[in-house]
Amino acid sequence: MKKQIAKFTGHAPVLLVRDVVASANHYRDVLGFECLEFYGEPSTFCILQRDKLHLMLGQVSRDHDVVPHWRVVEKMCSVYFWVDNVDALFNEFVSSGATIDYELCNQPYGCREFGIQDLDGHDIAFGQLLAEG
């Protein structure tokens, strides 16, 4: 009998935030994500989507801090998205008022990328693979 192998069909990074509704609105209005659904009463969790990619937001209680990755490891983003036109996305985000963490640049690991910072200080990076040769 042939061994069955499970196939991954999606992923959804989870970011901890101070205010899930404010954060979801920011991701919608500034970064072009769609809020699929809020959970809890009052809302403490949200699933966002853009171009079939998902991101989840979970609200921390008032007595907990949100600690973005870069505060623990220098220059470490919290989420990285690969895109097919990083220059166009950069221009879109600049036009919509996103907080640019670092400008478009070509990295030695073969990506053209930039980063933004969300309301809670999470660095979100967006990159496009550079053509070889």
Which has the higher per-residue pLDDT, 119 or 67?
A: 119
Say what the pLDDT of residue 133 is: 47
Is there a domain that residue 60 lies in?
yes
State the Cα–Cα distance between residues 114 and 125, nearest whole angstrom.
6
Is residue 85 exposed (0-12), middle (13-18) or buried (19+ Cβ within 10 Å)? exposed
Is there a domain that residue 38 lies in?
yes
How many residues in the chain? 133
**Are β-strands 111-117 and 99-106 bridged in parallel, bridged antiparallel, or unpaired?**
antiparallel
Is residue 102 exposed (0-12), middle (13-18) or buried (19+ Cβ within 10 Å)? middle
* pLDDT tens digit sequence for 17-56: 999 999 999 999 999 999 999 999 999 999 999 999 999 9
> In the predicted model, is pLDDT for residue 132 greater than 80?
no
Averaged pLDDT for residues 76-90:
95
- The CATH number of the domain holding residue 91 is 3.10.180.10
pLDDT class of 9 with cuts at 50, 70, 90: confident
The beta strands (E) that lie in 60-98 are given as: 79-82
Is there a domain that residue 6 lies in?
no
State the Cα–Cα distance between residues 108 and 121, nearest whole angstrom.
25
Long-range contacts of 43-47 (CB under 8 A, 24+ apart): 44/20, 45/20, 46/20, 46/21, 47/12
Based on the structure, what is the number of domains in the chain?
A: 1
Residues 6+ apart with CB under 8 A from 12: 47, 54, 55, 56
Locate 57 and state its tokens: 């937001």
Residue range of the domain that includes 116? 14-129
Is there a domain that residue 26 lies in?
yes
Is there a domain that residue 45 lies in?
yes
Is there a domain that residue 7 lies in?
no
State the Cα–Cα distance between residues 104 and 115, nearest whole angstrom.
8
